[in-house]
Amino acid sequence: MSKKNVIVGQSGGPTSVINSSLYGVVHEAMQHPDQVDKVYGMVNGIQGFLAGKTVVLSDMTEEELKIMQSTPSSYLGSCRFKLPEDLNDPLYPQLMKALEDMNVGYFFYCGGNDSMDTASKMSRYAAKVDSPIRFIGVPKTIDNDLVGTDHCPGYGSAAKYVATACREISLDAGVYGAKFVSVIEVMGRNAGWLTAASVMARKFEGDNPVLIYLPENPFSVEKFLADVEAAFQKTNNVMAVVSEGVHDSEGKFICEYAASDIAEDSFGHKAMSGTATYLSELVKEKFGCKVRAIEFSLLQRCAAHCSSLTDVTEAAMAGSEGVKAALEGETGIMIGFQRAAGDEYHIDYVRVDVNKVCNEEKPFPAEWIIDNGTNISDEYVKYALPLIQGASPVQYENGLPVYAYLK
């Protein structure tokens, strides 16, 4: 059997552990010198690959790979690029030829829904033209909304960040003892998994966040203000965590209320205002108390100094198991996580048909949203706690995390 090369790309929004999956692919591929020659990386995903941007990753030392592994964001750069729906599009033979020219036998694509769509289309095209190249999806998303897997690499670390930061902010917000409402905005346009993670911030029953709003339920501004008023009966320090994707029963995002409420300024542009800012202003107006709007923004997906070791380890396993599957002849699959039954947390890595994963979204379970849409059940906490365990493996130098970057 002639040796083939591996190529791996990263796509979509980055996470704290997407490079751990990259490490998994590169490290595992290098354990099979009988089957694998070089490992290439696509720079800026399939889009960069089309422009001829690749690097050799198999030249990296294990030490360099280890530092890359704990570096947040996509080491190879990313893209948002959807392949044509029509497999007869001339882009497909172009891509296939480029892969053949590089003697690629194994193709790995790490990302969320859209990236699984790329893996799906490429594997279907390969089948159509009888290409032996194998196409494998490696899951990644802080949104945790991929089907076919118990959870997604990237979610545990982002969840740990959200819970940690909410716990810390709540302590800060309470210092003056006066009425104070902090509104925290968390990523997740359609899926509330990451917002739900804030429930783990609670140190005791009744602790913050006292209000949690997921996009799976319609959001009403009037009800929100009534919820805050009710919360004031129990505490002066009210933290409300809202998904960036909360929207009313008509489907209109709450952040769009802000945009339409605000007139254009003297330069003719509308001021941007996030959901948290908008809601906190309404609270200030109604209750006259101090408010603080905090958007976790990029921090929640790149704070590798706060990543979960479980997440880092599983992300690497997803990459590594992907390589094993490809070398065993699989194609058109994504590595999924299957949680073993019983109280002890254990994950089996399974091979899922990537065609059934792409373009699907797994919403947060409706039965885990309780207390009239303001709270998250203990079942969720039982599900999520194992995912945030273990300290970040980030190395430090001069008091700061050591991170790799593509030179």
Binding site for its own copies (CB under 8 A): 14, 44, 48, 71-74, 77-80, 160, 163-165, 167-169, 171-177, 182, 200-201, 203-204, 258, 261-267, 269, 271-273, 277, 281, 285, 292, 294-295, 297-299, 301-306, 308, 385, 388-391, 396, 398-401, 403, 405
CB of 332 to its own copies, least distance (A): 26
Neighbours of 56 (CB within 10 A): 11
Cα 110 to Cα 25, 34, 84, 214, 234, distances in angstroms: 10, 24, 19, 27, 45
Query: In whole angstroms, how close is the CB of 167 to its own copies at the nearest point?
Result: 6
Q: Which is nearer to its own copies, 299 or 370 (by Cβ)?
A: 299
Rg (CA), the chain: 23
Beta bridge partners of 38: none
Closest contact distance (angstroms) between CB of 285 and its own copies is: 6
> How are strands ordered across the β-sheet holding 36-42?
54-56, 36-42, 4-10, 104-111, 134-139, 333-339, 347-353
Under 8 Å between Cβ of 163 and 388: yes
The three-class DSSP label of residue 216 is coil
d(CA 322, CA 377): 34
Q: How far is CA 49 from the centre of its chain?
A: 23
CA within 13 Å, CB half, 125: 22
Closest CA to 81 of 57, 47, 111, 55: 47
| Residue 159 C-beta: closest distance to its own copies, Å | 9
**Dihedral sign computed on CA atoms, order 67, 19, 76, 99:** positive
Calpha distance 266→280 (Å, rounded)? 25
**Spatial CB neighbours of 317, under 8 Å, sequence gap ≥ 6:** 24, 335, 347, 349
Residue positions annotated with a catalytic role: 143
Dihedral sign from CA coordinates of 187, 22, 163, 144: positive
Given the complex with its own copies, which of 10 and 120 has the nearer CB atom?
10
Q: Which one, 342 or 399, has the nearer CB to its own copies? A: 399
